[in-house]
């Protein structure tokens, strides 16, 4: 992912500096602003990277904006409670907004994997 940083020198002049972030740099930068699972942050990175590839546009690394635009949820019930909705399935939610289901592996044999939902605010 490319990062655009604009430093103002004078009122009429701008310099753009582009820094390419790998997934770990993105994850570490996001961790300063969100308390999401690593896999959820990586899913957002992949989403944004694909968006850059599809559009040919560079995306500015703005973790505060990403935090405002996307939220990690534990389950559909929490989303329904926060939005006052009654979505019965993730597919139904996807009719209204972008949703990424993120598999969070558990490393103890007795624990099952957990699925989180990364949802674009709507």
6, pLDDT greater than 50: no
Report how far apart, in Å, the C-alpha atoms of 63 and of each of 20, 34, 111 are: 15, 8, 31
> Which residue's entry shows tokens 């534990």?
74
Of residues 82, 70, 77, the one with CA closest to residue 46: 70
Question: What's the pLDDT tens digit per position in 93-104?
Answer: 999 999 999 998
Q: Which residues pair with 2 in a beta bridge?
A: 20
Contact between residue 44 and residue 66 where contact means Cβ atoms under 8 Å apart: yes
The model's pLDDT over 11-64, given as tens digits with 9 standing for 90+, comes to 566 667 778 899 999 999 999 999 999 999 999 999 999 999 999 999 999 999
Query: Across the chain, what does the average pLDDT equal?
Result: 89
Average pLDDT over residues 59-76: 96
Q: Which residue has the tokens 């559009």?
A: 55
Q: Give just the sign of the alpha carbon dihedral 72, 74, 80, 84.
A: negative
- Domain limits of the chain? 2-120
């Amino acid at each position: 992912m490319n990062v655009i940083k604009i430093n103002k020198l004078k009122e009429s002049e701008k310099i753009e500096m582009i820094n390419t972030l790998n997934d770990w740099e993105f994850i570490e930068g996001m961790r300063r602003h969100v308390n999401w699972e690593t896999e959820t942050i990586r899913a957002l990175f992949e989403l944004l990277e694909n968006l850059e590839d599809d559009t040919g546009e560079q995306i500015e690394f703005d973790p505060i904006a990403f935090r405002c635009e996307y939220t990690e949820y534990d389950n559909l019930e929490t989303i329904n409670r926060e939005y006052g909705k009654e979505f019965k399935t993730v597919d139904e939610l996807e009719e209204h907004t972008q949703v990424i289901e993120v598999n969070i592996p558990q490393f103890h044999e007795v624990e099952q994997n957990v699925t989180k939902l990364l949802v674009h605010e709507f």
